[in-house]
Amino acid sequence: MINTAHALPDFSNVLDAAARIAPHAHATPVLRSRALDAEAGAALHFKAEHLQRIGAFKFRGACNAVFALDEATAMLGVVTHSSGNHGAALALAARLRGIPCHVVVPDGAVRAKLAAIEHYGAVLHPCTATIAAREAACARVQADTGGTVVHPYTDPQVIAGQGTATLELLTAQPDLDALVVPLGGGGLAAGTALAMRALAPDCMLFLAEPEGAADGARSFARGALDHDFVPDTVCDGLRGTLGAINFDLLRAAQARVLTVDDARTVAALRLLWTRTKQLVEPSSAIALAAVLAHRELFAGRRVGIVLSGGNVDLDALAPLLARAAG
């Protein structure tokens, strides 16, 4: 058990999380594509988290956080802020445990993701689309309900839960040379770092980040968090600011950030859809885009790529694909 909200999780917490969520989460497959291997000049192993419950890796962390609560605390419910996937994940985990869930949602969130949050029974609390507004609204809802705040990416139990995806990947493919994961707030990335350092210490960790939300790249360059930006990217799941606890874990793992422009991300999205028939979202496709944009780093290597989610707004498909064709 992780004792405080500020403690750094470790690999033992990832193992605890794997046991805790096993009755609820899917063990997702690892997919291969000869066509994409040829495109990249590398052997690509795709961890298919878009096939996870709620269509994203986020269920792992949310499920771990909810089921780690003691009974009395759990009965008061859980609270979070989310643009979509984490909110849906927490709502489902709360429903499975039979407790209330409240989700603060920013203006402009993807409609398909908001519908999923409501479908799983959460109460929605709209707010303006800034991190400060989301945090303030979340604090108000927590004060009103007495529920436990489960932060989308800085909660240690969430980070440990997200690490179970890479635990599964490296158990299936222990000889990987590199891992590539999307970078937003850093929950998946930090959990990946915990599992990688324990199971594949010689593996290299690369973080795929949108150029339009590149606080991670600036933070690594400065050696300190730099949140002075306004996100502008089609990767709606990667618009959050990198968390402090996540930054510490990623620096310890000597992770490297690769920034990718939206045009390359949408082109990679199209490749995944046409070559593998897998429906992923831009925030997921960016990991493949990073590999294709930096072929020299991955040529001839065995590369694990976490396909983080597949919750696409179907009404936005045509204009999204037009960006790749244009």
The tens-digit pLDDT sequence of the chain (326 residues) is 444 445 899 999 999 999 999 999 999 999 999 999 999 999 999 999 999 999 999 999 999 999 999 999 999 999 999 878 899 999 999 999 999 999 999 888 777 778 889 999 999 999 998 878 888 999 999 999 999 999 999 999 999 999 999 999 999 999 999 999 999 999 999 999 999 999 999 999 999 999 999 999 999 999 999 988 888 899 988 988 999 999 999 999 999 999 999 999 999 999 999 999 999 999 999 999 999 999 999 999 999 999 999 988 777 777 777 765 55
Say how many C-beta atoms besides its own lie within 10 A of residue 34's C-beta: 10
CA 259, 256, 4, 15 dihedral sign is positive
Q: Does domain 59-149 sit in CATH 3.40.50.1100?
A: yes
Report the C-alpha gap between 268 and 324 in whole angstroms. Answer: 9
> What does CATH list as the number for 11-57+155-325?
3.40.50.1100
Q: What is the Cα–Cα distance from 65 to 13, expressed in whole angstroms?
A: 11
The number of CA neighbours under 13 Å toward the Cβ of 184 is 27
Q: Are 124 and 117 in contact (CB under 8 A)?
A: yes
Which residues on adjacent β-strands are paired with residue 45? 304
List every span in the chain annotated with CATH 3.40.50.1100: 11-57+155-325, 59-149
